[in-house]
Structure formats: C-alpha cells, structure tokens
Chains A and B, each alone.
Chain A
Amino acid sequence: GQQLNQSPQSMFIQEGEDVSMNCTSSSIFNTWLWYKQDPGEGPVLLIALYKAGELTSNGRLTAQFGITRKDSFLNISASIPSDVGIYFCAGGPNNAGNMLTFGGGTRLMVKP
C-alpha cells in the first residue's frame, strides 16, 4: 500500500528554537495535510495544502507542498512549550483512492 515516510520520528529541542519536519512518499498526492495531536486527544488540523508548490503559513507554522507532489515539510518558528505533541502529515487523494494516508508522526518535545 501507499506509505508516507515522516522524519524525524522525534525531536527534543530548546524553547525558542525553530523546528523542521518533513514527509516523503513514492506516490503522488493531490493534497497534503498537517495535523497535531496533543497528549490524550485526537489529531487537530493545522494546515491544508492543495496545490503543488503552495507555501502556507498559520501563525508560527509554515508548510509547503512539494513541487513533485511527493513531499511536504512543516516548519515551526520560535517554539514554545505548548508546541509539544505529535505532528502527523497526511496525503490524499490520488489515483489509489479517496483515503488519507498518514505518516508515522513526529514527536516534539520542548524544553523550557
């Protein structure tokens, strides 16, 4: 089946540092989504990307839809303790179906 490779698997950073994570796939996706999951909660959508090359910001978050449609990255600037959580990328749809395919997640830990 389709797979999204998300990296890094985990990050432990100092408050105030910038963060970068990415997802790559061997398949083309027409949509890239980034979700954040707080401990004990369900994932919440952060940013949605619908066009190759698109660069979108949401506060301190910036995400880009790769021009090849096979990758995406998420940057967080000036991290704060509440950024702690698991960040998931998701791709969809493509010719293989309508379902979202999720990456394995990046676990972010921020040291005050």
Chain B
Amino acid sequence: GAGVSQSPSNKVTEKGKDVELRCDPISGHTALYWYRQSLGQGLEFLIYFQGNSAPDKSGLPSDRFSAERTGGSVSTLTIQRTQQEDSAVYLCASSLSGGGWETQYFGPGTRLLVL
C-alpha cells in the first residue's frame, strides 16, 4: 500500500514569509510525528499526534511553529515568519497506534530553504 507522502518536496521561501508543509500518513495509522533534520544532523522531534488526544507539542522550537491534524489523517505543519535558521528537511512519520515501541514509517521529507 501507499506509504507516507509529503508535499511539497522542496520549498524555497523568503525570510518573513509563512509556509505550510503537508503530510499524508499511512491509511489507518493513528499516530503522526513531525521531525526536523538540519543539514548533516540527526532528527529533532517537533510534535506528535495520537488519535483524538491533545498533541504533544514539547518539541516545537518557538511559537512560530504550529501543526494541525484534521480528521485524524492529514497533518499540516505551519511555520510563520520564517527565519534562515528554519532551513532544514522536515520529516513526517506515522505509526499504527503510537506506542513508543512501534515502527515509525517516514515520508521522503520536505526540503525547506529560507533565503
């Protein structure tokens, strides 16, 4: 079946503009995660959605970052007033029910460049 998909694949924006990144998880997966990967770095956890529960936003680096998950499926990560340090690959992952022992399936990522 289809894996996790993300759009756009690449996004170039000007400093100060807002951007929206989209993630379509695997059908039937109730847990969805957003990570950020800076050039040559590991994965930085941003936010976690599990079913209808309140999301875990503990990894969001500032109040310019927000995310929504509508209908328990598609998620949108929004970055307001982008800064150059926001340039990174934004990865989305989903898992079946959200247990930490579960396999997380990753999408290909959105490469964001803020000029």
Q: Which residues in A have their C-beta under 8 angstroms from that of B43?
A: 43, 88, 102
Contact of A30 among B4, B35, B101 (CB under 8 A): B101
Chain B contact-residue range equals 20 to 34
Interface of B: prevailing SS: loop
Q: Which listed residue (A30, A48, A99) contacts B48, Cβ 8 A?
A: A99
Contact check, A42 vs B106: say whether CB atoms are below 8 A apart: yes
* Nearest B residue (CB) for A89: B42
A42 and B103 contacting across the interface, CB-CB below 8 Å: no
Contact with B along A36-50 (1 / 0, CB 8 A): 000011111100101
Interface check B1, CB cutoff 8 A: no
- Whether, in the assembled complex, B109 has its beta carbon less than 8 Å from a beta carbon of chain A, the answer is yes
B99 at the interface (CB under 8 A from A): yes
Residue of A nearest to B95 (CB): A100
How many residues of A sit at the interface, in one of the four size bands?
20 to 34
Total contacts A-B at CB 8 Å: 56
CB within 8 Å of B: which A83-112 residues: 88, 92-93, 97-105, 107
The dominant DSSP class at the A interface is loop
Whether, in the assembled complex, A63 has its beta carbon less than 8 Å from a beta carbon of chain B, the answer is no
Q: Of A33, A42, A48, A93, which is within 8 A of B109 by CB?
A: A42
- A98 and B99 within 8 A (CB): yes
Chain A 34-66 residues near chain B, CB threshold 8 A:
35, 40-45, 48, 50
Residues of B within 8 A of A (CB): 4, 35, 40-43, 45, 48, 56, 91, 93, 98-101, 103-109
5 A/B residue pairs, CB under 8 Å, sorted by A: A41-B108, A43-B43, A92-B100, A100-B45, A107-B40
